[in-house]
Amino acid sequence: MFLAGGSATFHEHYCGGINRRYFCIMEQRFLRPLWVEVRAEFGLIGPEALPITNDELDYIWSFHGGTCYHGIRQYAFGNEKPGAAVSGKDLPRVLIGAFVEAAPRVVAYLLEVKGRKRHRHAVGKAGGSSSTGLLIRNGT
């Protein structure tokens, strides 16, 4: 039903774009600011120098979606996993810990890929420019 709700026809006739508004609000008020903080925490380039990429947004949406789906599965569908090593109040700590551990490598990889694409484009157009320093702020 949620996927059907994403169609333009559904939006126009039934909800006037409620899904689009939700995604816009989530990205602008929560996910982008969170990702700015992730970059800053790990000393990576800020969004003023390199705007947040769609790949970065996809990564943080995946974290958000996985976390929310756990709650849906547990509370809406009553599908708690008895005997799970990590559950209940421990689960958010584990999920956030995994996100924080992976985030610096993921953002560095995504920015490096973006830098290589930029570099290839610049080489083809203007004879070359280095992407050195793309990831680290203030040349450190």
Residues 19 and 103 sit within 8 Å (Cβ to Cβ): no
Least-confidence region, from 6-10, 62-66, 85-89, 97-101? 6-10
Please give the residue range of the domain that contains residue 60: 2-139
pLDDT of residue 140: 42
Report which secondary-structure segment, H or E, holds 1.
none
Structure confidence by residue, pLDDT tens digits, 59-80: 999 888 888 887 788 778 887 7
- How many domains does the structure of the chain reveal? 1
Query: 104 CB contacts (<8 Å, ≥6 apart)?
Result: 38, 42, 44
Q: What per-residue confidence (pLDDT) applies to 6?
A: 52
